[in-house]
């Protein structure tokens, strides 16, 4: 699983690559840099979401269990209705 630190490093690397592409007037390098920066941002968001999920699960384990069961029931019902 990606850590927040990896995301920060990827975002900074992507920003530097984008800046280098702007200086060298290389559109491919700029696009690659922007993509790496966005990937870094998404890694940071995933790490934050994991922390929030862990906190919610530790505070309300029965609520999480009930929500998981409900989601499983709905997905099972949708899957069963699609088989006909």
pLDDT in tens, 25-64: 999 999 999 999 999 999 999 999 999 988 988 998 998 8
Average of per-residue pLDDT values in the chain: 91
Which percentage of the chain shows pLDDT scores above 70?
96
CB 36 within 8 A of CB 12: no
Number of H helices, E strands in the chain: 3, 0
For position 25, what pLDDT does the model report? 94
pTM above 0.75, yes or no: no
* Buried b / exposed e along 31-44 (16+ C-beta atoms within 10 A): eebeebbebbeebb
């Amino acid at each position: 699983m990606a850590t927040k630190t990896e995301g920060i490093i990827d975002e900074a690397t992507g920003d530097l690559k984008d800046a280098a592409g702007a200086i060298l007037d290389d559109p491919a390098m700029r696009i690659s840099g922007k993509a790496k920066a966005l990937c870094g941002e998404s890694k940071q968001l995933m790490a934050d979401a994991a922390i929030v999920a862990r906190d919610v699960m530790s505070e309300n384990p029965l609520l999480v269990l009930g929500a998981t069961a409900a989601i499983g029931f709905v997905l099972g019902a949708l899957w069963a209705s699609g088989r006909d």
